[in-house]
């Protein structure tokens, strides 16, 4: 099952494609175990279908090479992935370990 994060247009108003992520009580980006779980919790919190339709459910696309947390597609065009635990966006080469000659890669530290 793929973990998901939820984002929506800032203040529910689509402007310049700006998106905000759903946060947990501690202020970290909330990571759900599945899309179904995310939708259920949003409904339980009072979200209606109309609101859910404007939300974006991003599925995890791997594990962060740096910290092992779920990796998600970046919303920033020039980046491929983002890790909420590292709070960073990554180029494809940084997470897939394929030196592209343009961006530096980092090695795994234990």
Instruction: Provide the binding-site residues for Zn ion, judged by CB under 5 A.
Output: 64, 66-67, 69, 83, 85-86
b or e along 83-109 (b: 16 or more beta carbons within 10 Å of the residue's beta carbon)?
Answer: bbeeeebbbebbbeeeeeeeeeeeeee
* Minimal distance, residue 37 CB to Zn ion, in Å: 22
Which residue number, 41 or 59, has a Cβ lying nearer to Zn ion? 59
For the CB of residue 90, give the shortest distance to Zn ion in the complex, in Å: 8
**Nearest distance, CB of residue 102 and Zn ion, angstroms:** 21
Kindly calculate the radius of gyration of the chain based on its CA atoms and give it in whole angstroms. 15
Q: Closer CB to Zn ion, residue 61 or residue 86?
A: 86
Nearer to Zn ion, 10 or 63 (CB): 63
């Amino acid at each position: 099952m793929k973990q998901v994060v939820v984002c929506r247009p800032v203040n529910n108003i689509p402007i310049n494609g700006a998106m905000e992520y759903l946060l947990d009580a501690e202020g970290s980006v909330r990571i759900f175990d599945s899309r179904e779980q995310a939708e259920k919790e949003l409904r339980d919190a009072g979200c209606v279908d109309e609101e859910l339709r404007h939300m974006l459910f991003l599925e995890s696309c791997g594990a962060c090479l740096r910290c092992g947390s779920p990796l998600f597609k970046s919303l920033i065009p020039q980046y491929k992935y983002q890790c909420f635990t590292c709070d960073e966006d990554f180029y494809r080469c940084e997470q897939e370990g394929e030196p592209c000659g343009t961006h530096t890669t980092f090695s795994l530290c234990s």
